[in-house]
Amino acid sequence: MSPIDLLLHLSNFLLPPLAVAAILVLLAKGLVWRALLAKVPWRSLWVQCAGLGLLGQLGALLWFGVEGKLAGYALWLGLLSLPLAWRLVR
């Protein structure tokens, strides 16, 4: 595997949770729950969501042995939404 292939594989593995976390935080904090999340900084909420999303992605890879299973995507999407849900319930 060439270095370019390695870079492409890593970026295709890491970017989906990071991008979905950014979209989730943008929609949640910018449009939907603007007043409820006013005290929470954008960056800290994104870091928490993205970190758990990456953890879910890595856990799904270790659990299933392959990346791209629907159950794996459900796992990282569920973990990705936990920080937002936790802040809205408190």
Mean pLDDT, the chain, integer: 91
For residue range 10-53, list pLDDT tens digits in order: 999 999 999 999 999 999 888 888 888 888 899 999 999 999 99
pLDDT at residue number 26: 92
Number of structural domains (the chain) is 1
Distances in Å between the Cα of 45 and the Cα atoms of 5, 14, 33, 52, 76 are 32, 18, 13, 11, 16
pLDDT tier, 68 (very low <50, low <70, confident <90, very high otherwise):
confident
Domain that holds residue 78: 3-89
Q: What is the pTM of this model?
A: 0.88
